[in-house]
């Protein structure tokens, strides 16, 4: 009785396995069909022209600005040294003293110069007396020569030569006296221009001179503070946008809530070989003396475009590994056009390339819109 039961169970198992096998076979064919249909649908979508939004290319002006650091320096800043050797007799100014042009800063003394001046004065007086005497002698001989036989022609010539020689010696004596007198004037150390004494390195009684220990440091440093230079470096790409007399604004850490202005007055006209930038100097009027030489400033330089150029939205430009381009639509076809970017401001970009006004450009371009592919325009 056991064998018939076992055979029945065996037949049931075989039948059940066959059903499972057929089901799995049908399922595989069903899934494969779905994948094939999906791929065909994707291919159809890929082959279908993309729908894009375009805009006409137009010219315009773009105004941007450049943020660069700058340094405030004195408009004029000089080290004042002694011209002649001597000793400081009196000091009339100190650090922080405001001075006017020609004002006496210090007075030095040099006894040897006084002696030299006295000697030069004596030689001058003696030579003046000789010159007067030789001139009078020549005039008497010349008057006597008018009478026949009284004086020979040779005597007249010798008297004239003596007068001229003494006159030349007188001029030499005058020159020697002026030389010593001018040297003595250098004992009076005066301000070459209006400014403020920013450093003092001498005291009363100190030795000063054009060489040696007395000239190791300047006696004074005179700084012009009411007018400053703001020195900035403009990168090569922006040098064409900066002109003389342009207004710039800046602020400094000492007054973070206050804006200062200046005017571009000097441009180097060449690029720094190391930084590849142009040195630009801005004149800053500083009558209230709030700004100090040496301050670092954050400068805002306006960069307006000088001519009408092509202006496009940033989304129209594609930055790809192959280059920078925009996509132009011509007769329903996409065309990649290589371009160069200019200034950027407010999501707008200045554009340069082989384009003309009125060209239809895709507003939101990307690399998926292939060169030469068909497109539908909204």
Tell me the per-residue pLDDT of 23-64, one tens digit each, with 9 for 90 and over.
444 444 445 556 666 665 555 455 567 788 889 988 887 778
Q: Residue 335 is inside which H or E element, if any?
A: strand 333-338
Q: Which pairing describes strands 227-235 and 375-377: parallel, antiparallel, or unpaired?
A: unpaired
Q: Is the pLDDT of residue 19 over 50?
A: no
Q: In the sheet where 207-208 sits, what is the strand order?
A: 188-190, 104-109, 86-91, 207-208
User: How confident is the model over 102-114, as a mean pLDDT?
Assistant: 90
Encoding tokens for residue 81? 């040294």
348 within 8 A of 311, measured Cβ to Cβ = yes
Q: Across the chain, what does the average pLDDT equal?
A: 84
Residue 83 CB partners (closer than 8 Å, separation 6+): 183, 186, 210
Per-residue pLDDT at 40: 58
Q: How confident is the model at residue 195 (pLDDT cuts 50, 70, 90)?
A: very high
Q: Is the pLDDT of residue 78 over 60?
A: yes
Per-residue pLDDT at 262: 95
Count CB atoms within 10 A of the CB of residue 134: 21
For a pLDDT cut of 70, what percent of the chain falls above it?
A: 85
19 against 62, higher pLDDT: 62
Encoding tokens for residue 121? 């004065």
Per-residue pLDDT at 2: 42
User: How confident is the model over 218-226, as a mean pLDDT?
Assistant: 93
Q: Choose among 220, 180, 216: nearest CA to 199.
A: 220
Encoding tokens for residue 124? 């001058």
Tell me the helix, strand and coil percentages in the chain, rounded to 5. 35, 40, 30
Per-residue pLDDT at 325: 92
Q: Choose among 126, 127, 161: nearest CA to 141.
A: 161
Per-residue pLDDT at 183: 87
Tell me the pLDDT tens digit for each residue of 125-155.
999 999 999 999 888 888 888 776 677 888 8
**Confidence (pTM):** 0.62
User: How confident is the model over 330-353, as a mean pLDDT?
Assistant: 86
Q: Is the pLDDT of residue 74 over 90?
A: yes
User: How confident is the model over 256-266, as a mean pLDDT?
Assistant: 94
Q: Output DSSP code: residue 307.
A: S
User: How confident is the model over 167-178, as a mean pLDDT?
Assistant: 91
Encoding tokens for residue 51? 């729908």
Q: Choose among 266, 313, 100, 282: nearest CA to 195.
A: 100
User: How confident is the model over 60-89, as a mean pLDDT?
Assistant: 89
Count CB atoms within 10 A of the CB of residue 284: 22
Q: Which pairing describes strands 296-304 and 104-109: parallel, antiparallel, or unpaired?
A: unpaired
Encoding tokens for residue 144? 């006597």
């Amino acid at each position: 009785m056991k064998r018939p039961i076992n055979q029945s169970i065996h037949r049931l198992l075989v039948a059940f396995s066959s059903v499972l096998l057929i089901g799995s076979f049908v399922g595989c064919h069903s899934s494969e069909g779905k994948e094939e249909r999906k791929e065909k649908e994707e291919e159809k979508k890929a082959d279908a022209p993309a729908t894009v939004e375009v805009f006409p290319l137009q010219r315009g002006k773009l105004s941007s600005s450049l943020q660069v650091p700058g340094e405030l320096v004195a408009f004029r800043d000089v080290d004042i040294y002694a011209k002649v050797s001597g000793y400081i007799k009196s000091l009339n100014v100190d650090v922080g003293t405001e001075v006017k042009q020609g004002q006496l800063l210090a007075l030095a003394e040099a006894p040897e110069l006084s002696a030299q001046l006295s000697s030069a004065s004596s030689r001058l007086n003696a030579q003046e007396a000789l010159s007067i005497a030789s001139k009078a002698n020549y005039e008497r001989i010349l008057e006597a020569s008018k009478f026949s036989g009284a004086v020979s022609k040779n005597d007249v010539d010798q008297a004239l030569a003596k007068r001229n020689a003494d006159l030349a010696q007188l001029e030499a004596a005058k020159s020697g006296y002026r030389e010593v007198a001018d040297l003595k004037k250098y004992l009076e150390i005066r301000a070459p221009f209006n400014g403020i004494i920013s450093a003092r390195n001498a005291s009363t009684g100190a030795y000063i001179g054009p060489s040696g220990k007395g000239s190791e440091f300047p006696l004074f440093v005179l700084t012009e503070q009411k007018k400053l230079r703001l020195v900035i470096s403009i990168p090569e790409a922006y040098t064409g946008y900066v002109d003389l007399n342009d207004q710039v604004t800046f602020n400094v850490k000492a007054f973070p809530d206050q804006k200062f202005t200046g005017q571009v007055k000097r441009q180097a006209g060449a690029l720094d070989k190391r930084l590849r930038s142009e040195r630009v100097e801005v004149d800053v009027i500083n009558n209230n003396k709030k700004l100090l030489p040496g301050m670092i400033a954050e400068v805002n330089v306006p960069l307006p475009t000088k001519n009408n150029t092509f202006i496009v939205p940033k989304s129209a430009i594609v930055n790809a590994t192959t280059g920078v381009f925009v996509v132009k639509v011509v007769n329903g076809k996409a065309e990649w056009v290589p371009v160069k970017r200019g200034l950027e401001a407010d999501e707008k970009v200045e554009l340069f390339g082989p384009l003309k006004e009125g060209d239809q450009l895709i507003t939101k371009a990307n690399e998926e819109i292939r060169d030469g592919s068909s497109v539908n325009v909204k």
